[in-house]
């Protein structure tokens, strides 16, 4: 068993929410604690949270992270060649 003290404003919000959900205050608190533990217990890496965002546009260069400076210099060199040929 657990007991806790809530500030009056939070207790009023809990009462109102429990009433609107048709549940007891105890059930709302139990559900909230369970959801909190489930969300915190499954801490995922940023990559696991956003697979639809990472690697979305494939450059075709598997070593881009390691050789980024080389690729950047080549790209800038090509851009400068275009400018100087005008």
pLDDT tens for each residue of 37-81: 888 877 788 778 877 777 656 677 788 888 889 988 988 988 888
Phi-psi region for residue 24, left (φ > 0), alpha (ψ -120 to 50) or beta? beta
Q: Count CB atoms within 10 A of the CB of residue 83.
A: 8
Phi-psi region of 22 (alpha: psi -120 to 50; beta: other; left: phi over 0): left
The pTM of the full predicted model, rounded to 2 decimals, is: 0.48
pLDDT on residue 28? 97
Return all residues near 18 (Cβ < 8 A) that are at least 6 apart. 24, 25, 27, 28
Which pLDDT band holds residue 26 (cuts at 50, 70, 90)? very high
């Amino acid at each position: 068993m657990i007991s806790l003290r809530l500030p009056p404003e939070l207790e009023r919000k809990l009462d109102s929410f429990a009433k609107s959900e048709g549940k007891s205050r105890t059930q709302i608190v139990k559900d909230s604690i369970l959801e909190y533990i489930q969300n915190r217990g499954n801490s995922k890496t940023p990559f696991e949270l956003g697979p639809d965002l990472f690697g979305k546009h494939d450059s075709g260069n598997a070593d881009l992270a390691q050789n980024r400076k080389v690729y950047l210099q080549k790209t800038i060199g090509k851009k400068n060649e275009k400018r100087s040929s005008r």
